[in-house]
Amino acid sequence: MVKLAKLTWIFPVLFIVGCSDQTTVFQDDLEDDLILNTNQSILDQSVSFSQAGVLDIYEEGFLSNRSNDEAGQYPLTLIASVAPPSSTAGDNLTASHVDLSGDYVYVGYNTVGSTYKGAIDVVDISDPHNPRVRSRLIYTNADINALKYNNGYVYIVGGVDSETSVRATSNSFIARIAVNSGRMSTTGILYGFQQGFNATDLLFKDGNVLVSSGKEGSITAYNAGTLEIVNEAYSEDVRSMAATSNGLAVLDAGTGVRVLDANLVETGMIPVSTDLGVATKKTIEVKDNSVLVSEAERGVGVYDLNNGNLMEYLEIPVRPEGVDAADVVTNAVSSNEEAIFMANGGAGLSLSQEENGTSQTVGIIELNGSVNYVVSRGDYAFAATGEGGLQIIKLNRPSSSLEGACQNLPEYRSSSRLTVNAGENEAYSGSRRLRNISVAGELLLCGSWTVRDGIILEPDGVLQVYGNMTVARNSRRRDVVVAAGARLVVEGNFTLFGDLTLEDGATLEFLGDASTIDVFGDVEINGSAQVLGTFRDVRDKF
């Protein structure tokens, strides 16, 4: 059985438009190879909040053993993690690809090594406080290497063991699976098989779905509704694809980035000499007029799409001691507005920021384990870790309406230890990471905020939060005490990983009719303390 091809030498790359004799399309349930789970009580056990909460970012000062006390940008929070599927003892599935569409996250899984086994999860994030796996489909004889949702279906591509499959005519396959409100169905799954050892990526373009099939494979354009072949171009070793305004860019491990038009005819080539490894996932992403390329130990190469020139390298920020150098490689890159996320294997998940045409490293995001894949869309980033499964990260960007409400306040640009003394009255806007807050006077914060080490609200102090605030982490809990005569006012979302205590005479007040409080610890209301207003109590603690 051959699962992945060995790169013993590099062949000249040939793109020929035509149709593959090995391509087969048919409908079949393949029930012997599928395990579908829609039992909500069982699926809920896959979601963990054990590490949820504020994510620190280890910035340049930390990496160089220097202190950096300034409040940081990017107030990220870990919403939850999703454990990989398992149907038998010894399963070693890891997340391989993620797609976000509306309120649903589609997650593909494969198995490292010679074993073929994969899965698909559909995760509902309509309530960001409580993500839930709505359905899970396990393939006992196929890897899922990439997937995308489109118009009522999730399209998956990967590798199947054609020697043991009754139906498969080749190892590379595409499938179209119906999904409704997060529930996948095994009825009427449409399959196609094409040449190549393992399908690696897919994208939608002009009503077609394009599939790359890796080593000795092809880029094949299918009609998205019927999976009938529309066009095909043979290729040597395509790892990833990204849409451009006029066609697509493909990462070929043997030569570099090839630019194709809508007819799959090559119009340009950007040489990339970096060794991308044998049969390893490496992603690319098109951003404006540039293409970002995951280049293993070199980090991310940024190239001009128009002329092919190297614009810059985003290096891996840190190379941890005790980690094998072969494991410190960039496998995936994803951009989201100005933010650029890099999955660097044993060197973790790094974040850079593009500004004025150049990129600066922000730091390493506080996640456990090796990070092998990342994608960021909307207000989320999704990272696949070796130990913790899929990590759901919220960027907590202020909405346009919140930014408008905050625009008349000065932006906070000072210490991560925010202190307001008795008699002082401060008000700020922003989207910041803080170490702690201490209030004896009055403080108004408008925007999105995370607080790593807790809040001290002294007697008669007032803290008003308009927008979003998260305090502490489930693995690093901090309690908040609202002292006698003090007031905590919330209009928006307030999440606390720790206990909340209202002392005698304290007030917790919610403004508007859409405020939310999510307390992972206990709530204690003493004496004449009062809770005012309308609010959603996520964990029923009040």
Going along the chain from its start, the domains and CATH numbers come out as 24-394 (2.130.10.10), 400-537 (no CATH)
Whether 495 and 79 have beta carbons less than 8 Å apart is answered as no
pLDDT for the residue numbered 178: 98
Overall size of the chain counted in residues: 542
What six digits make up the tokens of 293? 């390329």
User: Locate tokens 């359905």: which residue?
Assistant: 135
Say how far apart CA 540 and CA 542 lie, in whole Å: 6
pLDDT for the residue numbered 18: 43
Non-local CB neighbours of 438 within 8 Å, separated by 6+ positions? 417, 418, 419, 420, 455, 456, 458
**Per-residue model confidence as pLDDT tens for the chain (542 residues):** 334 332 222 223 333 344 443 334 444 445 568 999 999 999 999 999 999 999 999 986 555 544 568 999 999 999 999 999 987 877 889 999 999 999 999 999 999 878 889 999 999 999 999 999 999 999 999 999 999 999 999 999 999 876 766 676 678 999 999 999 999 999 999 999 888 889 999 999 999 999 999 888 899 999 999 999 999 999 889 999 999 999 999 999 989 999 999 999 999 999 999 999 888 899 999 999 999 999 999 999 999 999 999 999 999 999 888 889 889 999 999 999 999 999 999 999 999 999 888 899 999 999 988 999 999 999 999 999 876 789 999 999 999 999 999 999 999 999 999 999 999 999 999 999 999 999 999 999 999 999 999 999 999 999 999 999 999 999 999 999 999 999 999 999 999 999 999 999 999 999 999 999 999 999 999 999 999 999 999 999 99
Say how far apart CA 487 and CA 297 lie, in whole Å: 52
Say how far apart CA 350 and CA 115 lie, in whole Å: 30
Burial class (CB in 10 A: 0-12, 13-18, 19+), 511: middle
Whether 108 and 148 have beta carbons less than 8 Å apart is answered as no
Non-local CB neighbours of 210 within 8 Å, separated by 6+ positions? 202, 203, 204, 219, 220, 221, 222, 241, 248
User: What is the pTM for the complete model shown?
Assistant: 0.92
**What is the DSSP pairing of strand 535-537 with strand 515-519?**
parallel
Listed in order, strand segments (DSSP E) in 59-103 are 77-82, 93-101
DSSP one-letter code for 406: H
pLDDT for the residue numbered 11: 27
CB atoms within 10 A of CB 339: 20
Non-local CB neighbours of 39 within 8 Å, separated by 6+ positions? none
pLDDT for the residue numbered 92: 84
Query: Which region, left, alpha or beta, applies to residue 287 given φ > 0 means left and ψ of -120 to 50 means alpha?
Result: beta
pLDDT for the residue numbered 277: 86
Say how far apart CA 518 and CA 538 lie, in whole Å: 5
Buried b (16+ CB within 10 A) or exposed e, 241-263: bbebeebbbbbbbbbbbbbbeee
State which amino acid sits at residue 454.
Answer: G
pLDDT for the residue numbered 61: 57
| Segment 506-515 long-range contacts (CB within 8 Å, at least 24 positions apart) | 506/482, 506/530, 507/482, 507/531, 507/532, 508/482, 508/532, 509/533, 510/534, 510/535, 515/490, 515/491
The SS3 assignment for 24 reads: strand
Closest CA to 223 of 119, 150, 147: 150
DSSP one-letter code for 330: B
Say how far apart CA 253 and CA 200 lie, in whole Å: 12
What six digits make up the tokens of 300? 């991310």
